[in-house]
């Protein structure tokens, strides 16, 4: 089985690659080779199969990124929300033209006699709007309030159509806000949802711009990685025309996150400073508080673990590496 | 007021141009000039304002098609369902890249100091699926079963986002199946809905591929033209983020159409031959039987006239011209 990870140098791409390298298989089939593609060639990977790293522009995808015989493509390459909002052309190029390039690469594989590759695509909760009072259903229409969400929702449609036409076999997962992200605080409006856990665990102060009773739809890096791998191996026949899924994230209150943090490291939340920020609250306040997910669990997507496990997993998987990275930077 | 009609040589573009030429105004403002743009330069128009005809590729839209000061753009240029299904690249180029080109032309106008132009876009009932048993709500999610519908639904999203960003001011109308179209039968699966009226009125036999109790969501050319002009002049503030509307078409049974035909021209339906066609029935059978429209009528879109008036209007507006055209062809 041949696998390509587009966005293979990114946070989730890296996790998926590592998980597959550990198991050496996907859906019971042995992995023969893997291509990691990103803007810059991703770092190598210790794996029981050949790994090729390629750098380039997703909108001008080189053939070597999806060689003949490619069975599974994780299409995680994206310009994220703040960047797509700041630069319309860049967002369109990467998030839309990039998806068209993936579709065209699959068409070439099929035209060459190959089977339609499974394409696992990361869409986002940012493709919905609604606000704090709203729990959305599986079939709620996407009315995005940002260019990133628009481009993701449009890309979902293009991938569903390409599936219907037999170019590929898509599963689109609308990922929740991922907590706890390693690294540094960034300019994403959602950055603080990770920072309020990560920074105190590093012994650093951090700001909380929304009230404690603010609700957010989240998933852990471990859960998101597992979902992506499940999407790559699942039976897609039951999906029919609709190739998009809201995976079973968790609707939590900011206060729940802080309580879980204190349970893992007593007193850590003393470093969280409540400083209301109407701009950030305005952006994240437009996202739905959560989803009533029925379809994805029925299709085998695993339910979310409790918050306390999410924070313990961050401590186990990422805290030390984050500390070292930031000491170096 | 300066107006551009993209697809100005087409069936509906022509009707909109003629209607505006008759009134000389739009929303109470005098029309100064009009550009008609299509693949080939559209035929001229008798009008109380300057009319410029331009031919070209919508995906490579010349600046002259939307000159500085353009207030309203009717974006009706499209590769229709059968053609977009037969040629994926052509559909993507015209229906998606063409819409991006319209967005970019509006961005240039705004960057040059102009107000965001009103863009009236024709989306389609083909962006939905569902089938004979289904009446859809205004906020139903689009799950298209064809590339044309996919490209239209994605274009709606791009136009809504461009509106939010202040590039333009979009109203997207998902037009029902238009009956009665003049001209000849064509390869569109929906062609017979017009042919079962038009052909008998010309004294010609025609085939009916579905049962008499088959339901279809329709609108007349007169009503569609009126909706497009209303969309160009309406107050868009109440639309918020959601710039797409299901206008108040009519859900009718094929038997209702035939009864109305017989009421207008007694015995005409004797020329309709019932020959079931499972391929055509399979395609049109995937479209919803109708919509529960609430939003568009509340925003001033006029309710549909009865079928008998639709057929009388075809006789008054189009029958003689169609007869002459076909005698020449």
* pLDDT tens profile A246-282: 999 999 999 999 999 999 999 999 999 999 999 889 8
| CA–CA separation, B248 and B227 (whole Å) | 9
Using an 8 Å CB-CB cutoff, list chain A residues near B150.
157-158, 160-161
- Specify the 3-state DSSP secondary structure of A132: coil
DSSP letter for B119, please: E
Give the chain A residue whose CA is nearest to the CA of B242: A143
**A137-163 pLDDT, tens digit each:** 999 999 999 999 999 999 999 999 999
Task: Name residues whose C-beta falls within 8 Å of residue A172's C-beta, 6 or more positions apart in sequence.
Answer: A121, A122, A123, A155, A156, A159, A160, A243, A244, A245
What is the C-alpha to C-alpha distance for residues B245 and B269, in angstroms, rounded to an integer?
34
Q: pLDDT by residue (tens digit) across B174-201?
A: 999 999 999 888 877 899 999 999 999 9
Mean pLDDT, all residues of chain A = 96
d(CA B77, CA B83): 13
Model confidence at A283, pLDDT cuts 50, 70, 90, reads confident
Going by C-beta distance under 8 Å and a sequence separation of 6 or more, which residues neighbour residue A328? none
Look at residue A304 and give its three-state secondary structure.
Answer: coil
Q: Give the Cα separation of A180 and A264 in Å (integer).
A: 14
Whats the size of chain A, residue-wise?
329
**Nearest by Cα to A69 from A22, A25, A32, A102:** A32
B74, B121, B128, B148: the catalytic one is B148
Dist CA B57 CA B38 (whole Å)? 8
Q: With CB atoms and an 8 Å threshold, state whether A158 touches B140.
A: no
Q: What is the mean pLDDT of residues A124-135?
A: 92
- Tell me if A144 and B158 make a contact (CB, 8 A cut-off): no
CA–CA gap between residue B222 and residue B32 (Å, rounded) = 24
At A181-234, the pLDDT tens digits run: 998 888 778 999 999 999 999 999 999 999 999 999 999 999 999 999 999 999
Pull the structure tokens for residue B223. 């009503």
B contacts of A153 (beta carbons < 8 Å): 157
Residue A220 token pair: 């852990």
Q: What is the pLDDT averaged over residues A67-78?
A: 97
Q: Give the separation between CA A212 and CA A198, rounded to whole angstroms.
A: 17
Which among B216, B219, B204 has a CA at the least distance from the CA of B174? B219
- Distance of CA A205 to CAs A195, A273, B143, B181, Å? 9, 7, 46, 68
- A140 contact residues in B (CB cutoff 8 A): 141
Spatial CA neighbour of A178 closest among A126, A138, A133, A214: A126
CB-nearest partner of B141 from A88, A100, A139: A139
The residue among A122, A121, A135, A128 whose CA lies nearest residue A294 is A135
Facing residue for A161 by CB, picked from B150, B157, B241: B150
All residues of chain B having their beta carbon less than 8 Å from the beta carbon of residue A88 are 165
Flag if B150 and A141 touch (Cβ within 8 Å).
no
Domains in chain B: ranges and CATH: 2-128+136-175+220-245 (3.40.50.720)
The beta-carbon neighbor of B145 closest among A88, A100, A241 is: A241
Residues of A in contact with B129 (CB under 8 A): 241
Cα–Cα dist A242/A246, whole Å: 12
Q: Which of B257, B250, B246 is nearest to B222 (CA)?
A: B250
CA torsion sign, B132 to B138 to B144 to B147?
A: positive
pLDDT attached to residue A21 = 98
Q: What is the pLDDT of residue B329?
A: 65
User: Which residues of A participate in catalysis according to the annotation?
Assistant: 148
Please tell me the predicted confidence (pLDDT) of residue B279: 86
Please give, rounded to a whole number of angstroms, the shortest distance from the CA of B8 to a CA of chain A: 27
Closest Cα partner for B49 from B15, B22, B16, B76?
B22
CA contacts within 13 A on the Cβ side of A148: 20
What is the enclosing helix (H) or strand (E) of A201? helix A191-201
Instruction: Determine the distance in angstroms separating the CA of B188 from the nearest CA of chain A, rounded to an integer.
Output: 18
Q: Collect all residues with Cβ–Cβ distance below 8 Å to A210 and sequence separation of at least 6.
A: A192, A254, A276, A277, A280, A281, A284, A285
What gap in Å lies between CA A64 and CA A56, rounded to an integer? 11
The pTM for the full model equals 0.96
**How many Cβ atoms are within 10 Å of A266's Cβ, its own excluded?**
9
Residue of A nearest to B162 (CA): A147
Report the alpha-carbon distance of residue B95 to residue B124 in Å, rounded. 12
Return the closest-CA partner of residue A175 out of A276, A277, A249: A249
Query: B267 vs chain A: nearest CA distance in angstroms?
Result: 43
| Chunked mean pLDDT (size 10), chain B, 329 residues | 97 97 98 98 96 98 98 95 92 98 98 98 94 93 95 98 98 97 86 97 96 97 98 98 98 98 97 94 89 97 97 96 87
Q: How far is CA B35 from the centre of its chain?
A: 19
Please answer yes or no on whether B158 and A150 come within 8 Å at the CB atom: yes
Biggest alpha carbon–alpha carbon distance for chain A: 61
Cα–Cα dist B128/B288, whole Å: 7
If you measure CA to CA, which chain B residue comes closest to A159?
A: B150
Instruction: Verify whether the Cβ–Cβ distance A242 to B164 is below 8 Å.
Output: no
For residue A41, give how far its alpha carbon lies from the nearest alpha carbon of chain B (Å): 30
Q: State residue A81's pLDDT score.
A: 82
Q: ipTM of the predicted structure?
A: 0.96
Give the length of chain B.
329
Those residues of chain B whose CB sits closer than 8 Å to some CB in chain A are 88, 92, 100, 129, 139-147, 150, 153-154, 157-158, 160-161, 164-165, 241-242
Cβ contact, residue pair B150, A129, below 8 Å: no
Nearest CB to A157 within list B88, B140, B153: B153
φ/ψ of residue A133, rounded to 5? -85, 0
Q: What pLDDT was estimated at residue A187?
A: 74
pLDDT above 90 (res A82): no
Report the residue of chain B nearest A138, measured CA to CA: B141
Nearest CB among A146, A158, A241 relative to B129 is that of A241
Q: Select from A291, A135, A153 the least CA-distant residue to B160.
A: A153
Phi then psi for B141, rounded to 5 degrees? -70, 140
**Three-state SS for B117?**
coil
By CB atoms closer than 10 A (0-12, 13-18, 19+), residue B78 is: buried
- DSSP for A253-275, please give it: EHHHHHHHHHHHSTTGGGGEEE-
Q: Out of B88, B141, B241, name the one closest to residue A129 (CB).
A: B241
User: How close A314 gets to chain B, by Cα (Å)?
Assistant: 36
Chain A residues touching chain B at CB-CB below 8 Å: 88, 92, 100, 129, 139-147, 150, 153-154, 157-158, 160-161, 164-165, 241-242
Contact criterion met (CB < 8 Å) for B153 and A150: no
**Phi and psi at residue B214, in whole multiples of 5°?**
-70, 130
H or E element in which residue B199 lies: helix B191-201
Question: Nearest CA to CA, how far is B279 from chain A (Å)?
Answer: 17
Residue A154: name the closest of A103, A82, A212, A214 by CA: A103
What is the overall mean pLDDT for chain B? 96
Instruction: List the beta strands (DSSP E) in A179-286.
Output: 206-208, 215-219, 244-245, 250-253, 272-274
The shortest C-alpha distance from B314 to chain A (Å) reads: 36
Let me know: does B138 contact B297? Beta carbons within 8 Å: no
The residue of B101, B151, B154, B170 whose CB has the most chain A CBs within 10 angstroms, and thus the best one to mutate to test that interface, is: B154
Task: Assess whether pLDDT exceeds 90 at residue A312.
Answer: yes
Report the residue from A92, A153, A164 with minimal CB separation from B157.
Answer: A153
Q: Note whether B147 contacts A140, CB cutoff 8 Å.
A: no
Chain B CB contacts of A239 below 8 Å: none
Confidence band for A329, pLDDT divided at 50, 70 and 90: low
What is the mean pLDDT of the segment spanning A26-35? 98
The pLDDT of residue B224: 98
């Amino acid at each position: 089985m041949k696998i390509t990870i587009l966005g293979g140098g990114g946070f989730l791409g890296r996790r998926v690659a590592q998980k597959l390298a550990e198991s050496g298989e996907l859906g019971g089939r042995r992995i023969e080779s893997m291509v990691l593609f990103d803007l810059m060639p991703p770092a190598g990977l210790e794996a029981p199969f050949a790994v090729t790293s390629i750098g380039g522009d997703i909108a001008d995808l080189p053939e070597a990124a999806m060689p003949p015989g490619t069975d599974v493509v994780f299409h995680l390459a994206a310009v994220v929300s703040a960047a797509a909002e700041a630069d319309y052309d860049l967002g369109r190029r990467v998030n839309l033209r990039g998806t068209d390039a993936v579709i065209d690469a699959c068409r070439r594989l099929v035209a060459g006699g190959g089977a339609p590759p499974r394409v696992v695509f990361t869409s986002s909760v940012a493709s919905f709007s609604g606000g704090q009072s709203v729990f959305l259903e599986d079939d709620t229409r996407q009315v995005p309030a940002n260019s990133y969400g628009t481009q993701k929702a449009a890309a979902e449609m293009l991938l569903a159509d390409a599936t219907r036409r037999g170019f590929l076999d898509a599963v689109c997962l609308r990922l929740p806000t991922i907590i706890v992200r390693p690294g540094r605080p960034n300019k994403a409006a959602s950055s603080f949802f990770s920072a309020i856990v990560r920074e105190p665990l590093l012994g650093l102060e951090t700001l909380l711009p929304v009230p404690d009773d603010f609700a957010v739809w989240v998933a852990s890096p471990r859960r998101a990685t597992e979902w992506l791998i499940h999407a790559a191996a699942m039976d897609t026949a039951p999906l029919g025309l609709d190739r998009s899924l809201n995976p079973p994230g968790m609707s939590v209150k900011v206060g729940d996150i802080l309580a879980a943090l204190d349970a893992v490291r007593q007193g850590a939340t003393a470093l969280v400073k409540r400083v209301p920020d109407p701009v950030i609250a305005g952006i994240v306040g437009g996202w739905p508080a959560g989803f009533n997910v029925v379809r994805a669990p029925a299709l085998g997507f695993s339910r979310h673990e409790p918050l306390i496990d999410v924070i313990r997993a961050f401590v186990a998987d990422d805290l030390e590496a984050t500390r070292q990275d930031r000491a170096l930077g």
